[in-house]
Amino acid sequence: MEKSQKFAPGEKGGVPPNKQDQTIDLRIAHWCNWSPRTSGMYETTRELIDAENRIEGVLAGFCETPGMNAAPQRVKRAAEGGRVDPMHVHFRTQDWGWAMKYADIHVIHSTKLGRIGELTPRAFFLHGTVEACLGNELEPKDRNASFSSAGGYIAKSDATFVTSESARMFWSQFDYGGERVHRVNKGIDLSWWQRTSTKQDLTGEPSILYGEVWRGIKHPLHLLYAVNQLYQENSELRLNLWGCNVKRSFWQGILKALRFDEFLGRPGLGDIIEYPEHYYTRGDVLVSPGLYGNVTRVHQEAMACGCPVISWDTDPNQDTHPYKYAKAFNIADLGQKIMDAYSDVLDDRERVAKQCRSVAEKYFDINLEAQQIVSVLRDVVSSQ
């Protein structure tokens, strides 16, 4: 039976218009959790699929992976496909039938659906850092075994993708066959992430930004102390925070007890936001949430939108490409780098914005990442 080139019927379904006249020779099923706006892994996977579909001869689809112990109705809904991203209405989930019958290869992003691990040929995309996976598995009530399961998937997959040299060094130890862990570019959709005419109505001179889902490997504790020191000398500055949807009451208590809430900008301790590019366009400097030398989506998005980023110099391989590095966990130096960046912005905001955008275009392009991944997947498929 000839393999279908089309997705199954459904809302917003069908072959993308630019694919109608192409001969498809590589069909990729990506398996990932469905979490628009709240998951960096989801957003990266969505943007990667769009980029892959811009490559001649490639047809990539998104298959929703339900969580562990999901109810039968929940699994059924995921299998049917047809869910539409409210922020990107052209993007929909694909039914599992298409993936199971027509896909040439399966790329696993979320390992919470065990049966997917039985499909071949199979590639594994490892979004989590070593520190994140280890930290999750060390939690007393952990059920996902993030570190161990990642190692298991590396060992049994035909290819594994990581996005930093540090990740390649650590995770490749599980590659018992050798040469199956591939370091690829970590990219974002630069056509979406750019400066906007609309700006968030933020307060602060400077307006310092921090946004991420706060957890053990990404939190603003050091930043809070650094900004507090700056605030003693400049009461006009404000720290604009968002993404605090884990342990919120704990952080609210800390902010109040240490009187750090005095320098919070409007609207205070923010949750997940829909258009962070409005923050990046207005903000003067963003401090990267990555503690261990990993480049985060927030970091990349801000740079692409022309907002200078400060990150710790905990990246021995220089993979993060910020506007400035601060000495690791040195609060005084972090404060100084924030003010240095702000001084540059006051001197020539457009020059700084162009410099940040140039870095993003050189290092953070999702199209390059897609090309690298597709090249590896073609080799895997051809070797079967």
In-domain check, residue 246: yes
Same domain as 179, residue 99: yes
Same domain as 373, residue 336: no
Token pair 């993308």 is found at 16
Same domain as 62, residue 43: yes
Same domain as 220, residue 325: yes
In-domain check, residue 163: yes
Same domain as 343, residue 229: yes
Same domain as 58, residue 26: yes
Same domain as 282, residue 160: no
Q: How far apart are CA 180 and CA 194, in angstroms?
A: 34
CATH number for the domain harbouring residue 353: 3.40.50.2000
Helix H or strand E segment including 151: helix 146-156
For the chain, the domain total comes to 2
Same domain as 359, residue 371: no
Range of the domain at 83: 17-187+365-382
- CA proximity to 184, closest of 52, 18, 308, 59: 52
Same domain as 225, residue 313: yes
Walk along the chain (384 residues) and give the pLDDT tens digit of each residue: 344 444 544 333 456 667 778 888 999 999 999 999 888 999 999 999 999 999 999 999 999 998 777 888 988 999 999 899 999 988 989 999 888 888 999 999 977 666 776 788 899 999 988 998 898 889 888 877 889 989 989 998 999 999 999 999 999 999 988 899 999 999 999 999 999 999 999 999 999 999 988 888 889 999 999 999 999 999 999 999 999 888 899 999 999 999 999 999 987 888 888 899 999 999 999 999 888 888 999 999 999 999 999 999 998 999 999 999 999 999 999 999 999 999 999 999 999 999 999 999 999 999 999 999 999 999 999 998
Q: How far apart are CA 325 and CA 296, in angstroms?
A: 15
Q: How far apart are CA 204 and CA 218, in angstroms?
A: 23
Same domain as 219, residue 293: yes
Same domain as 161, residue 263: no
Q: What is the pTM of this model?
A: 0.93
